[in-house]
Amino acid sequence: MEILTTGEMEQADRLAIAAGAPGFALMLHAGQAVADAATDLAGQGPILVAAGCGNNGGDGFVAATELAARGHDVSVILLCGRDSLKGDAALAAKGWKGRVLPCDLSALGSPALIIDALFGAGLNRPVTGDPQAMIEAINANGAPVLSVDLPSGINGTTGAIMGVAVRATETVTFFRKKPAHLLLPGRIHCGRVRVADIGISDVVLDKIRPATFENIPDYWQGAFPVPRIDGHKYARGHAVIVSGDLTSTGAARLSARGALRAGAGLVSVLSPDDALGANTASLTAVMVRRMNGAAGFAEILTDRRLNACVIGPGAGVGEETRALVLTALAAKPALVLDADALTSFADLPARLFEAIKETGNTDIILTPHEGEFRRLFSEMSNKHPLRSKLERVRAAAGRSGAIVLLKGPDTVVASPDGRATIAANAPPWLATAGSGDVLSGMIGGLLAQGVPAFDAACIGVWMHGEAGHEAGPGLIAEDLPEVLPAVLRRLYDRFGIDY
């Protein structure tokens, strides 16, 4: 499903209006959708609408009018004088026949529900003064809160808090989600998110051509790998995972297990001499091969059946790992660079990016967490409040020439071609040692099966999040590969694939 920035959403409104849907009709649909959600949340209790001076407030007036008509006890507080309302918002306020309370915090009372219609897409500066006090009072009130379009104070495009923001129980947005419904901290402020149809036709998307999508199965169903009836294990690819030395071999084994469970036909751990004993003693279905440094690695990669490679988990930071990465880039298998493979280039990221661009290989994925991301992309600071995670990862993909996957509760995957996805399905207990190692392996396993890199990254992230839910609280990294069959079965069911 497409995700629209607030600018793209304005364009959608304009295109719908140009195609014959009056702007006020869109507002009437929006207000109705808010009223429907409010009825579910408030039961029979009194409802307070906190309205701002723009069209977000207009939606609030429509909802108030509709809820009163349905028999609810509704009051409205307005941030500004009624006379200063303009356009559709003024029209919506005309329809409201009840009282409008001035912006007095004591007027909030003890409602069964507060409808937050202060600011939506039009928020354009930090919130201070009366609106700030109102938002703080809404948060302190204790009543459930239904936010219209966005929790007031949240920047719709970046998900950032503009000084202070409402913490909603539920948010009703219109036509399509905005980045703030998925990116933190916005997502936390939204509560549940409902997307309402307000009469905008999907045809407008042909003009807008959005490049950001929610990472859900509908988005990548066409790329999801299914073993062929007449296939064999080599038809499902052979992934190789580079092991660290004797002091750190577990990460590569976790990764290898993830690759195998994600469906690679064969998986081999490439092991330095000193770690051969440790690796062979702890692996069964995953194979082990001796690898003597970068020269030995290059020799192994001449076998073109080894079509996907993961370097980084437990690899160690330094020249040896850099040499392995450059060797893999030259050999051109589909490649996941994770953890130490990224940190090894902290002092010379340009060298890595040049090597990536020189290969012409488009199947390269970098999978940093925030710390690793900062080491490689120091110029893409996360300090700027208006620069979102989405924008940072897109810029990093452009800079590096690789697909960049920035991990976290709102994992973003971006391609140098501009496409990006945001995932919102990862539970917090996924943040546990080794979890990222399994993720890089899963993506390697998908690459081995021939899935294009951007899709492989998106599918891997989504399945990893689902595996987190499947294993539940208490999860450790070893559990993740073991619950993948359950995740895959549900995907098969969802896609209608026989098994």
Ligand X SMILES: NC(=O)C1=CN([C@@H]2O[C@H](COP(=O)(O)OP(=O)(O)OC[C@H]3O[C@@H](n4cnc5c(N)ncnc54)[C@H](OP(=O)(O)O)[C@@H]3O)[C@@H](O)[C@H]2O)[C@@H](O)CC1
Residues lying near ligand ADP in the complex (CB under 6 A) are found at: 339, 369, 407-409, 411, 426-428, 430-431, 433-437, 439, 464
Enumerate the H helices of 50-197 as residue ranges.
55-69, 87-95, 129-141, 186-190
Binding to ligand X by residue 54, rule CB under 6 A?
yes
Least distance to ligand X from the beta carbon of 108, Å? 19
Least distance to K ion from the beta carbon of 73, Å? 22
Element of type H or E holding 339: helix 339-343
- From candidates 3, 4, 15, 26, binder to ligand X by CB under 6 A: 26
User: Could you tell me the CA-to-CA distances from 410 to 67, 369, 405, 425 in Å, in that order?
Assistant: 35, 11, 11, 8
Which residues form the interface with K ion (CB under 5 A)? 116, 120, 147-148, 152
Radius of gyration of the chain (CA): 26
What residues between 188 and 217 interact with ligand X by CB under 6 A? 198
User: From the list ligand ADP, ligand X, K ion, none, which binds 436 (C-beta under 5 to 8 Å, kind-based)?
Assistant: ligand ADP
User: From the list ligand X, K ion, ligand ADP, none, which binds 369 (C-beta under 5 to 8 Å, kind-based)?
Assistant: ligand ADP
User: Could you tell me the CA-to-CA distances from 391 to 117, 186, 189, 423 in Å, in that order?
Assistant: 27, 15, 20, 15
Q: What are φ and ψ of residue 149, in 5° steps?
A: 70, -60
Element of type H or E holding 290: strand 287-290
User: From the list ligand X, ligand ADP, K ion, none, which binds 411 (C-beta under 5 to 8 Å, kind-based)?
Assistant: ligand ADP
Strands 306-311 and 334-338: parallel
Distance CA 31, CA 17 (A): 17
Per CB under 6 A, the segment of 51-59, 245-253, 371-379, 411-419 that binds ligand X is 51-59
> In the numeric block, which tokens belong to residue 458?
């998106």
Q: Is 371 labelled a binding residue?
A: no
x-marked contacts with ligand X along 86-115 as a string, rule CB under 6 A = ------------------------------
What residues between 147 and 186 interact with ligand X by CB under 6 A? 148-149, 174
When the beta carbons of 13 and 372 are compared against ligand X, the nearer one is 13
Q: What are φ and ψ of residue 212, in 5° steps?
A: -115, 140
- From candidates 106, 124, 284, 302, binder to ligand X by CB under 6 A: 124
User: Could you tell me the CA-to-CA distances from 480 to 258, 259, 476, 492 in Å, in that order?
Assistant: 8, 11, 7, 18
Least distance to ligand ADP from the beta carbon of 119, Å? 27
Least distance to K ion from the beta carbon of 98, Å? 20
Binding to ligand X by residue 23, rule CB under 6 A?
yes
Least distance to K ion from the beta carbon of 149, Å? 6
Per CB under 6 A, the segment of 41-49, 126-134, 334-342, 364-372 that binds ligand X is 126-134
For the chain, give the number of residues: 499
> In the numeric block, which tokens belong to residue 206?
């042909």
- Sequence-distant (≥ 6) Cβ neighbours of residue 30 within 8 angstroms: 59, 62, 148, 149, 174, 196, 198
- From candidates 50, 53, 324, 477, binder to ligand X by CB under 6 A: 53
Binding to ligand X by residue 127, rule CB under 6 A?
yes
- Sequence-distant (≥ 6) Cβ neighbours of residue 182 within 8 angstroms: 3, 159, 214, 410, 422, 423, 424
Least distance to ligand ADP from the beta carbon of 442, Å? 10
Q: Is 498 labelled a binding residue?
A: no
Distance CA 484, CA 466 (A): 8
- From candidates 13, 116, 340, 479, binder to ligand X by CB under 6 A: 13
When the beta carbons of 249 and 359 are compared against ligand ADP, the nearer one is 249
User: From the list ligand X, ligand ADP, K ion, none, which binds 147 (C-beta under 5 to 8 Å, kind-based)?
Assistant: K ion
Least distance to ligand ADP from the beta carbon of 300, Å? 25
- From candidates 119, 297, 373, 454, binder to ligand X by CB under 6 A: 119
How many other β-carbons are positioned within 10 Å of the β-carbon of residue 36?
A: 16
Distance CA 88, CA 71 (A): 24
Binding-site size, ligand X (CB under 6 A): 27
User: From the list ligand ADP, ligand X, K ion, none, which binds 407 (C-beta under 5 to 8 Å, kind-based)?
Assistant: ligand ADP
Q: Is 251 labelled a binding residue?
A: yes
Binding to ligand X by residue 131, rule CB under 6 A?
yes
User: From the list ligand X, ligand ADP, K ion, none, which binds 55 (C-beta under 5 to 8 Å, kind-based)?
Assistant: ligand X
Instruction: Provide the CB-side half-sphere exposure for 134 (13 A, CA).
Output: 27
> In the numeric block, which tokens belong to residue 18?
């140009």
Q: Is 493 labelled a binding residue?
A: no
Distance CA 46, CA 285 (A): 62
CB 73 within 8 A of CB 105: no
From the list 110, 96, 150, the residue with the least C-alpha distance to 127 is 150
When the beta carbons of 369 and 387 are compared against ligand ADP, the nearer one is 369
> In the numeric block, which tokens belong to residue 419?
């496409």
* Residue appearing with tokens 């996941």: 336
Residues forming the site for ligand X (CB under 6 A): 13, 23, 26-27, 30, 52-59, 119-127, 131, 148-149, 174, 198
Q: Which residues are annotated as a binding site?
A: 55-59, 116, 120-126, 149, 152, 251, 314, 369, 407-411, 436-437
Q: Which residues are annotated as a binding site for K(+)?
A: 56, 116, 152
